[in-house]
Every structure is written in C-alpha cells, then in structure tokens.
Amino acid sequence: MTAEQPPPKAEQAPKIVIVDESPIRAAILEEGLREAGYASVVRISEMHSLLARIYALDPDIIVIDLENPSRDILEQMFQVSRAVRRPIAMFVDQSDAASIQASVDAGVSAYIVDGLKKERIKSILDLCVFRFNAFAKLQDELDRTKMALEERKVIDRAKGILMKLKGLTEEEAYVLMRSTAMREKKKIGEIAQSILTASELLK
C-alpha cells in the first residue's frame, strides 16, 4: 500500500470566482470568503467573453447573482464541449431543496465543479447566502435613509412656504403641518408634498 493520497488541491484551497456586476456586493462577499480562510477568490464584473475568462481561471466554484442575465451563459458549462475539462454541478446537491430555496431567495446561485466535498461546498454556499442577505439589508437601510433625507428636504421647503405665505415662525409652520397630518391620518411628508404641489400649481 502506498501512503495515503493527499487531498486533491481543490480541497485545500478551492478557487472561487464571483461573477457580480455590483462591485460593493462582490467585495462584501470576497471579504467574507477570505475571512473564512478561502484565499483564492477572483471577482469578475465585466460580462464580455465571460465563459472564456472562467475557463482560463479554471475555478472550483462560481458564484453569480441572480439579477445577472449572464447566468444563462454559465448554463453552457453543463454542455458537452471540448472547452470543459471537468463536470460541473449546480448548487450543493440536487436533493437539497432547502439550500436551493435559501440561495434563490437571497438572489445568488453557485456552480460547483465535481470533486469537492459536500460539507465544504455547503459552508461556502451558506456564507454566500448570508453575505448576500446582509448586502440586501444594507441596501434597504441605505434606501430608507435616502428616502428619509428626501422627506426632510420636502418638509423644510414646505415649512419655508408656510412661513412666507402665512407669516409663521418655523416652529409654528411645523406644528401646523404636524396637526394637519394627524387630523387627516397622513404622514407629515405627504402633507409637505401637497403643499409643494399646491404652491407649484398656484404659481
């Protein structure tokens, strides 16, 4: 008997390619993978000749976001072709419905070259799902902050109009809008917006 075979190279340091047109999300994902000890991570954000670049990199795992139409290009890797050296499977396991559901919900998909240990793939995919969800949450918070800022601006402008037209102080203008909002069961932002609209119309 010969000595025990060393694990295949992919088991030691699987090469991971991230295909994502969002550079921030890709960076968040890459950071997570590196923190988890996966040193070999390459990001692709340019979709031109995607397949050729992937073949040249020869990754063990490809992670792609679901908003990316180029996902269909990756499907070509399943096809019989001289360009493909190793078989590729999708997701962790075709029978693992929960993993598939979680990744589709998170908006990420993974293509995995055969030969990697299942647990290893699962932990990488879980990490991707976690980071994608974290990014979505960040994005959501950012959107809400932006909206709040917008609303702030609208309220300030409406206040200015009231102050000018009715000779109110800033405090009084705000109280007037707030009480109107409460009476009409609307948000103060909506009241402010209608003041702006009305003042546009009456100009």
Partner 1 sequence: MSGPLHIGFIPLVDAAALIIAVDKGFTAAEGLEVNLVREVSWSNVRDKLNIGLFEAAHLLAPVAIASSLGVGHVKVPIVAPFNLGINGNAITVSPALHAAIMAELDGDRFDPMATARALARVVAARRKSGADPLTFAMTFPFSTHNYQLRFWMAAGGVDPDEDVRLVVLPPPFMVESLKSGHVDGFCVGAPWNSIAVDHGVGHILHFVADILVHAAEKVLAIRQGWAEKNPEVVARLTRAAIRAAEFIEEPGNRAETARMLARPERIGVDAEVIQRTLDGRLKISPDGTIRGNSRYLLVGREGAGRPDPVQAAWLYSQMARWAQTEVSEEALKIAMAVFRSDLYDAALGTSGASTSATNRPFDAFDGPEFDPRDIAGYLASFKIFRQPI
Task: Pick the binder of partner 1 from 109, 129, 154, 162 (CB under 8 A).
Answer: 109
CA atoms within a 13 Å half-sphere pointing along the CA-CB vector of 179: 6
Q: Three-state SS for 74?
A: helix
Task: Pick the binder of partner 1 from 24, 47, 138, 198 (CB under 8 A).
Answer: 47
Kindly provide the b/e burial profile for residues 73-87, where b requires at least 16 CB atoms within 10 angstroms of the residue's own CB.
bbeebeeeeeeeeee
**Nearer residue to partner 1 within complex by CB, 21 or 151:** 21
Residues in binding contact with partner 1, number by CB under 8 A:
26
Sorted by sequence, the CB contacts under 8 Å of residue 59 that are 6+ apart come out as 14, 15, 16, 17, 42, 113
112 binds partner 1 (CB under 8 A): no
**Nearer residue to partner 1 within complex by CB, 102 or 162:** 102
Q: Three-state SS for 19?
A: strand
14 neighbors 124 (Cβ within 8 angstroms): yes
**Nearer residue to partner 1 within complex by CB, 67 or 184:** 67
Q: How far is the CB of 72 from partner 1 (least distance, A)?
A: 5
**Nearer residue to partner 1 within complex by CB, 136 or 168:** 136
Task: Pick the binder of partner 1 from 28, 42, 57, 100 (CB under 8 A).
Answer: 100
Across the beta sheet with 41-44, the strand order is 41-44, 16-19, 61-65, 108-113, 88-90
Residue 124: CB atoms within 10 Å: 23
Rounded CA separation 71/64 (Å): 7
Report which secondary-structure segment, H or E, holds 15.
none
Q: How far is the CB of 79 from partner 1 (least distance, A)?
A: 5
**Nearer residue to partner 1 within complex by CB, 41 or 102:** 102
**Nearer residue to partner 1 within complex by CB, 76 or 145:** 76
What binding mask, one character per residue, do residues 62-91 give for partner 1 by CB under 8 A, x or -? ----xxxxxxxxxxx-xxxx--------x-
Residues near partner 1 (CB under 8 A) are: 47-49, 51, 66-76, 78-81, 90, 94, 97, 100-101, 104, 109
